Structure 1
């Protein structure tokens, strides 16, 4: 038996695997269990956005995803007869200015193989059947496929176990929200008749939306709404003939699918918990929030939950930071979850308008707005999750105006990898105050690279997840020390 870990992770989807990899990278012993016998073989969540790629890059293992994925450089929205708008992903303010299209099955494979190379194996057909927060540890009961149970002690428990999370149920947290009153169809197969292989193609037809997302080669994901649904009503999975008829009617008779890999009908849920943690137990990913697939941000948001939580757990477990640091996780990520839920809901509402007059108004307004580069840029950054920040976090502090560059709470745009396992703040600014902070707080701070002369006028502390925690002038060293002293164990 692997024994008692520092962190027990329930759920080995993309979010759980990301969290496990990050904790192991920081030197934290983990166990990760999943009741499924094997990882998914479906394409499911299909895109890694720019901000997620930046985080994997800073962690040192983005290349595996880049090698397995397809870069999509834009999206085209049309009525089937005329172009409504084109969105250029090249405008995303990132070194990864594109959407990386990669099936979830591949994402999980890459993460699981990396974890195995680090000596941690996902324990399959093992489910979390119960847990108790003892105050100084979590007692958890793991049950295998044979029915045999094992009781273990972990310092912390994280539920990455999806929309039907056993951890969330165990905490008794309400999953507030609703199921949209509409049916949807999904098809994953080989498609001909689309002329831009590196673009998303979205058709806003009078009768409903039809959307195409490239995967690899001539393989595409197709999504279409099928109209209103009653409470509890289930729609049968579509046939290939029905999908081809939808594509011909809403898109073009030239578009056709063969050899489908996956055909399914689904409903859209929009739900979220208010609290992402309670005591020594945390929620991340779909266990905490589920959204419309519009924008493709659900998995990315969950992975960013994992990055946010991992460095905080690592610093607390190592004894470098006070346990109170972990209180910031729920506050920060719940606010992000609210934002993503709202944005995805708005996109879905726009795409599924049924009134012809409202459709014409929508199309006219979007066609006009898309002509402004600044609006294009804003939309691209929102899709890439580059606009996410933590302005209201307890970890965000500023002293006076910033001479140049990001403010406290905003993303730091440059790669600042400390090296394998590193999870300290990076101090940036003039050499003397930066060196002083690194010397006084060696377990929390490392010196960053030299800044350009303008940036050097600002003293910054960059969090391990690439967000600015503190900003001030060179004279604000005492305030920076107070900021770090409040975190230090």
Structure 2
């Protein structure tokens, strides 16, 4: 019996499958590719994603495989306009973890294997049709044989060209940016090489040039190459092309030993809704955007974590299906925000008018000289400020905000087993009584709140669901009842 069929075994699909399997949900994860990603692709795992990985139990493996970038620099010519640092990010993981996507997939697949689930490769979703009680999916195997399965839930984690999204017939609204971009994974050496724990952006009149450190002494170089000519596509870049851009836009260091040279275009697109009945979209199947800020993979993995605990509670019969109605509004709002921020960063970096470039550089030099601005930039990139204030699951002042991991003294809530809400209340006796009323939703052990006069119900994904002042036991009861009550 398959409770959930997941299409696409990239980082988002692997995260989704691992979380659902951890909660005891029977999953199948299929992917039409014969092998995992072999290139570096998405490179950055940010602070909030690492915090959420604590619940999955795989953070340590990622830290061992990755490189911790401690800051960034923004330069123009020989001038450093500013150097945002990550050390002051209010997270146990106050850095950007640089790790190639092939390693991210390898580690997530190992986590999934430990839970008894394997990726079914060269298995393609040929078609699907939904009804009130299930989804009928037709799968095509590598030998050409077709299999028809019934599954209560289908999740499309199958990327920008998603078969699931196309099958739903939903619009993927947005546009393509007008420039070609170069990507090169190379070694850097010589004078002017940026520090190996820094993301370095060079602003130039012809366009930006960005260097991302990669474990193993390599670096990712990304730069604009000029307007796209769809009638005459550019050939893949050569090492000489990359070296020429270094000489023009950066500080003259040498590049060598390329392992990946390619061109790409930036697309910025998003669906209006992430849920359509018994079918869900997550990651690039729902939203794609500029790589500026390195938010794409993180946003998709957080889509998966958001949906997984809700779907697990519903599949296990421990919450009403109405709980799933919160997934699309919560994550769609985050997707809108990430799109806006990435678009602004890209537009700022690709200004072409000389006067606008001069004004931008002067403004950046002033603003990045302010500690508060540097901290704000680092915090935004880390994603620790993502919140669900407008969610139907957020009740009370400050509800929807991330629950500070420091309140748990190193013991992350919901670290294993079934997904459970956590109660933070000073009256442990009444808290235990409330937990006894909702044993399938609420952890049996109340926690001490950071403020003795407050009561909090924290979601399994570490966000505040209910926030109340004083003796708010009736509010807490109604809140949990709204999630647990029978449909209809």
Q: Do residues 459 (structure 1) and 458 (structure 2) align?
A: no
- What does residue 96 of structure 2 align with? 99
Structure 1 residue 356: Cα displacement: 1.2
Task: State the SS of the aligned residue for 1:475.
Answer: coil
Mapped partners of 2:234, 2:422: distance in 1? 52
Structure 1 residue 418: Cα displacement: 3.0
Mapped partners of 1:484, 1:14: distance in 2? 32
Mapped partners of 1:73, 1:84: distance in 2? 17
Task: State the SS of the aligned residue for 2:84.
Answer: strand
Note if contact 1:125-1:144 (Cα within 8 Å) is conserved in structure 2: yes
Structure 1 residue 230: Cα displacement: 4.2
Mapped partners of 1:191, 1:380: distance in 2? 25
- What does residue 5 of structure 1 align with? 2
- What does residue 69 of structure 1 align with? 66
Structure 1 residue 257: Cα displacement: 1.4
- What does residue 221 of structure 1 align with? 220
Mapped partners of 2:231, 2:50: distance in 1? 38
- What does residue 422 of structure 1 align with? 418
- What does residue 166 of structure 1 align with? 163
Mapped partners of 2:453, 2:433: distance in 1? 16
TM score, norm. by length of structure 2: 0.96
Structure 1 residue 447: Cα displacement: 4.6
Mapped partners of 2:414, 2:210: distance in 1? 41
- What does residue 251 of structure 2 align with? 252
Note if contact 1:192-1:218 (Cα within 8 Å) is conserved in structure 2: no
**What do residues 404-455 of structure 1 show as CA deviations (whole Å, max 9, x unaligned)?**
xxx2110001153334223110000112342222111111111556436x52
Q: After the TM superposition, which residues 3-402 of structure 1 pair with which residues of structure 2 at under 5 Å, given as runs?
A: 4-193=1-190, 194-230=193-229, 234-253=233-252, 255-398=253-396
Mapped partners of 1:450, 1:412: distance in 2? 13
- What does residue 404 of structure 1 align with? none
Q: Do residues 479 (structure 1) and 475 (structure 2) align?
A: yes
Mapped partners of 2:37, 2:289: distance in 1? 20
Which stretch has the larger CA shift, 262-271 or 415-424? 415-424
Rate the CA distance shift 1:23–1:187 in 2: closer, same or farther, 3 A: same
Rate the CA distance shift 1:123–1:340 in 2: closer, same or farther, 3 A: same
How much is the aligned-residue C-alpha RMSD, in angstroms? 1.3
Task: State the SS of the aligned residue for 2:280.
Answer: strand
Mapped partners of 2:35, 2:468: distance in 1? 50
Note if contact 2:432-2:446 (Cα within 8 Å) is conserved in structure 1: no
Structure 1 residue 214: Cα displacement: 0.3
Rate the CA distance shift 1:486–1:232 in 2: closer, same or farther, 3 A: farther
The gaps in structure 1 that reach 5 residues or longer are 402-406
Note if contact 2:432-2:445 (Cα within 8 Å) is conserved in structure 1: no
Note if contact 1:181-1:231 (Cα within 8 Å) is conserved in structure 2: no
Mapped partners of 2:232, 2:14: distance in 1? 34
Structure 1 residue 62: Cα displacement: 0.8
**What do residues 443-475 of structure 1 show as CA deviations (whole Å, max 9, x unaligned)?**
1111556436x5222100000111000011241
Mapped partners of 2:209, 2:389: distance in 1? 37
State the aligned residue count.
477
Which stretch has the larger CA shift, 279-288 or 228-237? 228-237
**What do residues 238-277 of structure 1 show as CA deviations (whole Å, max 9, x unaligned)?**
0111001111211122x11111010000100000000101
Mapped partners of 2:444, 2:69: distance in 1? 36
Mapped partners of 1:195, 1:213: distance in 2? 9
Task: State the SS of the aligned residue for 1:408.
Answer: coil
Note if contact 1:87-1:376 (Cα within 8 Å) is conserved in structure 2: yes
Structure 1 residue 218: Cα displacement: 2.0
Note if contact 2:274-2:280 (Cα within 8 Å) is conserved in structure 1: yes
Rate the CA distance shift 1:447–1:232 in 2: closer, same or farther, 3 A: farther
The gaps in structure 2 that reach 5 residues or longer are none
Rate the CA distance shift 1:384–1:263 in 2: closer, same or farther, 3 A: same
Structure 1 residue 378: Cα displacement: 1.3
Structure 1 residue 216: Cα displacement: 1.3
Task: State the SS of the aligned residue for 2:35.
Answer: coil
Mapped partners of 1:66, 1:461: distance in 2? 30
Mapped partners of 2:234, 2:434: distance in 1? 60
- 4+ long deviations beyond 3 Å: 230-233, 447-450
